[in-house]
């Protein structure tokens, strides 16, 4: 049985809980008493995990289950390197930030900065996410630099901003400036695409599976063709639970941009 964490009357507890450091590889050799003494922050003050959560089970297999309301818990799975964390409901901001390995599976929705500056592993979200998913933190040059992020629902603005590597797949609609200043990597959007997608991109791909988004004026029209890699990409994502509307069987329109930053990126959508 994995380590199970259940909130203790969190509805009457702190408004913000920082879970930094509570990841599978740091708890796997601890007993329940030691886990209950682990430090966390609640509304900015230092606290012990056992004051707010009831630990049960055995963490030795590097698996953690979060049951109950974790919507006020931030930095869940941040800096995770191995193992698996499953969340039965929603989580707060910065979930999976800086992840280097392992799997973070969230059945509900997640707040802003999901998987920010992630370098490896998988983040799977059954609901929607806030702003700056897989993006760069303020002041940083690079966002996500490896791994896979799959969001079944929608995403807010600036999804994939300054991504360097990896793949972000959004099953629903996406807000403004997806792939903003994209360095490399791939952003896939299954629903409607907000304005200014790919603005400032240097390399990489923004792929709209069903929508025909407005193209920034600094992009140059490319070929209309049938990319052979699209079915392969979708099969790879399908294995990770990505199930948007099927991509069209007809041709795709290719745009090159952003011309102001070298023009080596691409925007692809149904012709």
Mean pLDDT estimate for the chain? 95
Confidence label for 154 from pLDDT (cuts 50, 70 and 90): very high
In the chain, what are the domain boundaries? Answer: 109-270
Alpha helices, H only, 80-239: 229-239
Contact 178/197 with Cβ under 8 angstroms?
A: yes
Residue 179 has pLDDT above 90, yes or no: yes
Tokens standing for residue 203:
């390399």
Which range (5-9, 41-45, 103-107) has the least confidence?
5-9
Q: What is the pLDDT of residues 195-236, one digit of tens each?
A: 999 999 999 999 999 999 999 999 999 999 999 999 899 999
Confidence label for 245 from pLDDT (cuts 50, 70 and 90): low
Element (H, E) at 84: strand 84-87
Question: Given phi > 0 = left and psi -120 to 50 = alpha, else beta, which region is 22?
Answer: beta
Q: What is the pLDDT of residues 39-59, one digit of tens each?
A: 999 999 999 999 999 999 999
Q: Which residues pair with 252 in a beta bridge?
A: 225, 270
Q: What is the 3-state secondary structure (H, E, C) of 28-76?
A: CCCCHHHHHCCEEEECCEEEEHHHHEEEECCHHHCEEEECCCECCEECC
């Amino acid at each position: 049985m994995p380590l199970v964490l259940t909130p203790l009357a969190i509805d009457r507890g702190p408004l913000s809980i920082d879970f930094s450091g509570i990841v599978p590889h740091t708890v796997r050799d601890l007993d329940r008493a030691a886990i209950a003494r682990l430090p966390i922050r609640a509304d900015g003050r230092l606290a012990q995990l056992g004051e707010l959560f009831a630990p049960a089970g055995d963490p030795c297999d590097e698996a953690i289950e979060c049951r109950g309301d974790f919507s006020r818990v931030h930095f869940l799975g941040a800096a995770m390197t191995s193992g698996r964390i499953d969340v039965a409901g929603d989580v707060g901001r910065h979930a999976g930030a800086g992840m280097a390995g392992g799997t973070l599976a969230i059945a509900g929705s997640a707040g802003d900065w999901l998987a920010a500056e992630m370098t490896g592993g998988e983040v799977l979200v059954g609901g929607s996410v806030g702003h700056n998913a897989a993006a760069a933190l303020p002041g940083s040059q690079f966002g996500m630099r490896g791994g896979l992020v799959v969001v079944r629902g929608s995403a807010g603005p600036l999804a994939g901003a300054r991504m360097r590597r990896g793949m972000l797949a959004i099953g629903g609609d996406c807000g403004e400036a997806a792939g903003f200043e994209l360095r490399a990597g791939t952003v896939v959007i299954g629903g409607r695409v907000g304005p200014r997608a790919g603005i400032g991109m240097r390399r990489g791909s923004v792929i709209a599976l069903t929508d025909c988004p407005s193209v920034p004026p600094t992009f140059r029209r490319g070929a209309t063709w049938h990319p052979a890699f699209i079915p392969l990409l979708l099969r790879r994502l399908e294995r990770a639970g990505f199930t948007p509307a099927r991509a069209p069987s007809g041709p795709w329109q290719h745009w090159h941009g952003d011309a102001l930053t070298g023009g080596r990126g691409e925007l692809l959508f149904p012709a």
